[in-house]
Structure 1
């Protein structure tokens, strides 16, 4: 990839210059890495940029981006492409994704908010909602293209309506829980506990009966067998009544419609 991109600067038997910019520190090891590959780089005189010039560049870039939101979208794509390529570089021992200055790269592209991407987990002191600063109001940040701007406003309105519906549903739920009396909550809890204990006792009784049938099945007297049959009939009758009561409740709810 390095040779391919450098080769683009000189085409059709013409000469060109390819400049490789490396951060001070670990990235400088890339020079020795290229020497092993048979590529020699010539050092250039460092360009010293004053703080005033740096501030002027940042301000000029941001003013240019604010003229059209599509420019900001392009800056986001450039940032994402840079980070993705950096994270997949073959010389991963030199270009470590964990040590990349994400905030500095974002400011280089004029971004005021870090886009959502998996590599954000490596950002130190990740800002709230990804905002580096709040100089841009994204609710009013418009596109120069009228069609894009109309679509953006429509999407913003749809998002706002969804947010209002969620807040309304949450408020209604909280109000419902607030109006639910303490005594009703406790009585409902007690009813559940009693029902659970009742089912537990019934299950234990069924298990005991089954064990008795297995142990005394062949030697049971006629009277014991009659008692067991009566017990089974009672269980089936209870289930039938419960099912009939449930069906009656459902039918009643339909009759009310």
Structure 2
């Protein structure tokens, strides 16, 4: 079975954020991811990882004003300078924390807007170059419009085309099984076709985004397929526990 990373934004919410690292390690995880580390000094996060014996799998670039509904800056041409500053901040954090991957959110914009399209492609290229200079990978993720209405990157084929056409060796696809199923289904076929482009995978059950194995998909068959396809990265557990986090980890213990 693949290696799993606990998503500390969604999991272990019974604890304060800085205490979730030890909680994840105690539950048997060897790696973690989360949305954003920027409320805390990078050195503090690095220390928590070290104390818990954990690896960092991934975190996101700053998204703008999350509380006001912003979900990234890349597709917003009027925010170009702010976006570039956010790339620098993420890389500074990534260097200290030791992350192999950064996820770049696209923002709320029409995918049919030529200005947004141009801004996004330019942003992806800029961020991939900047991250690559530090030996860090960059991933982009299609997100479904039910969970995030108006999100610019809402199509897997478009994401794959952008990655292929830009041609940066450190630019990959973040394939979220939950989002794929909500958007288009056909999860196994898409994984098989897109595996050469995939840099990170996330999982949650559909439709309630709870523990794997509790929804409409055969999540365990999908996980076995990842092994067959030779996927070697982490699978981020980006799900909302149905109850207390550790009480819902039988799915992982029984693999």
TM-score (norm: length of structure 1): 0.20
Which has more strand, going by share of residues? Answer: 2
TM-score (norm: length of structure 2): 0.20
